[in-house]
Chain A
C-alpha cells in the first residue's frame, strides 16, 4: 500500500482556477468510486471537501469540484480566494477495509 502521488505545490492568483492531481493505481483510485479530498489549514482539523470522487458535502461552495479519469483523480478550485490557501490531500479506498492518503499539495494563492 503506497501513498497516492500529488504535486508538492501549486499556485494561482485570486479569481483563477487550479487543478490538483492525485495519481494512484488500478488497485485503489482506478478501482473504486471512493476518492475523497480534504482541505487542511495548519493547526486546524482537516475539512472534507469532496467525497465519492465528485460529491460535495452539503453547504460547501461549488467552487470546489472533483473528477477522475483512470487512476488519476483531480480537484479543481475555481475563482480562487485568499482563504483557499491551504494543504490539500486526496484519499482513496485501497481494498480490504484500508485507506490511503496522498502526500499532500500546498496551494499558494499569490
Chain B
C-alpha cells in the first residue's frame, strides 16, 4: 500500500527562522505530490504541487526521487504560517495523505 510519512506531529519555530516540514513517500512509480494546508477554522486547501514547481506564500518543495522525499521549506517563517500541513501522494489508488504536521510559529 502507498504510504506517506510525516515524521513530525508538531513543529515549533520562531518567526523569521527557516522552516522545513518533512515528507517521505512510498510510491515506486512516478508520484504526484502535493502539500495541503489547513489554517485555523478554514478548509483544507492545496498549497502547492510538485509538477508546477512554483512557490506559494514563500514555500517551496522539491521532489527528491533518490530519497523519496518531498520536504516543504520556507526560508523565513511568518506568524500566519501557523497551520496544519498535510503531504499527499496522488497515485493510482488516489489520495494518500500523511498524518499531518502542526506548524506553530512563535513571535
A joins B in a complex: no
Binding site for B on A (CB under 8 A): none
